[in-house]
Structure 1
Amino acid sequence: MRLSLVPLLLAAAVTGCSTSAQKIPNEADGATADGPCDPEFRSILAKQTDMEAETLARITLTGIGESCRGLPDDVTRTIAAMSTFDPADGATLMMNALDENRSFARLGCSDFEAASKAMLAVPGPDRARAFFKGCELGRLNLVTEAEVDTAWKSNVFASGVLAAPSLYVWLLEHRMTKAEARKLTRQLMGLR
C-alpha cells in the first residue's frame, strides 16, 4: 500500500562529475519557484518551517515524486516505494534507481559509474565523501563535503545525498530557480 503525503500536507495547511565535461545549467528564461512541480505542493511545503528535518525530507521526497512532472519512471517508482521502506534502506533503493537510469544519474555526477564504484570500495561511513569527490559535487555549490558526510552518517538522509545532485540539475533544466532547487534538494539531505 502506497502512502501519499501530499494530501496530508494539504490537510495540514488547511488546519493549521567532471567540471570540464559537464555544464551546470543557468536559470532558464521564465524559471519559477515551482519549475516542473505542482505550485500547490510547493506553496504548502514552503510553509512547513518548524518541521523536524527527517519528516521534512520524507515529505519533500514524496512530494517531488508525486508533483514534479517528467522525472524518469525508475526514479519516480523508487521515490514512491521509499515511503513504505525503512529510511535506512533508502540509499540502496536510490542507488539502484540511479543505476537503472544512468542518464539521470549523470546529470549531477558526470562519471557516475566510476564514482559509484569508488563509493562501494570504501567502508560504509566513508562512502559519502567518496561519492562527493568522485562526482566533484563541490562544483554545484549545493552542499559541502562535511555536510554530505554528516547527512550520510545519519542513515535517514543517505538516499537524499545520492539523489540530490541529479535532482538539483534536473530541476534547473526544467525551469526551477536555483534558490528553490537548492532549497528542495538540501531538504532531502536534512539540511536547510
Structure 2
Amino acid sequence: MKKGIQLLFMSIILLGITACSYPTMNEAIPYKVNQIIHTEKMKDISIVLYDTIAEIEEFNDQRKPVLGVAFLKGDSEDGWDNVGPNGWNHNENDQFTIYKEDFRDYDKEGNVITDLTIIYGEIHNPAIKKIETLATGETDQYKEAMMIEKDKKRYYFAIGAKDSIKALSDNGDIIHQEDWTKEE
C-alpha cells in the first residue's frame, strides 16, 4: 500500500512537471499568435518576437496587431515552457513603436542567472533606414539594432538596457529620438 501511494505521488509530480510544457512555441505563448517574427537564442532562453491581436476586455479599442515578446525554455523535441512576462506596454509615435520588456531568471538559491532587457518595435516611417540604441551607462556609443523584415513590415530588435533610441535616415540624419533613464 505504501509503495502504491509513493508511486501515485511520484506520478502526480511528474505529470505536474510535464504539464507546463507545450509542443510548439505558439502554444506556449498565452495569446493567440498571428505570426512569429523573430527568434533569438541566448543561453537556454529563446526570445520570441511575435504579433497578436489584443482580445482582452481592457483593450476593446485595440484591434490592430500588437507586438509581444515571450521568453521560452525548451525545444521542439521536449516541449516549450513560458518562463517570462507576457505583455505589450509600449510607446507609440508616427515613426515607430517602442516596446521594452525585462526578464530575470533565477537558480534554486535565488541568484540571478539571466538578466535581459529587450527593446523592440515596428517601424512605421519608410524613410527610417536604421535604428540605433544607447546602452545604459554609455554616453555616445550608439549601436545598431537588428532590423527584421517580414510580410512587408519592418521591425527592430535590441538586447540590453538602453537609455536612448534613435531612428536614422539613409544619410544618417536623425528622424526621431527618444531618451529615458532606467527606472529602478
TM-score, structure 1 as length reference: 0.24
Q: Using CA pairs below 8 Å that are at least 6 residues apart, which structure has the higher relative contact order?
A: 1
> Normalized per residue, which structure has more helix?
1
TM-score, structure 2 as length reference: 0.24
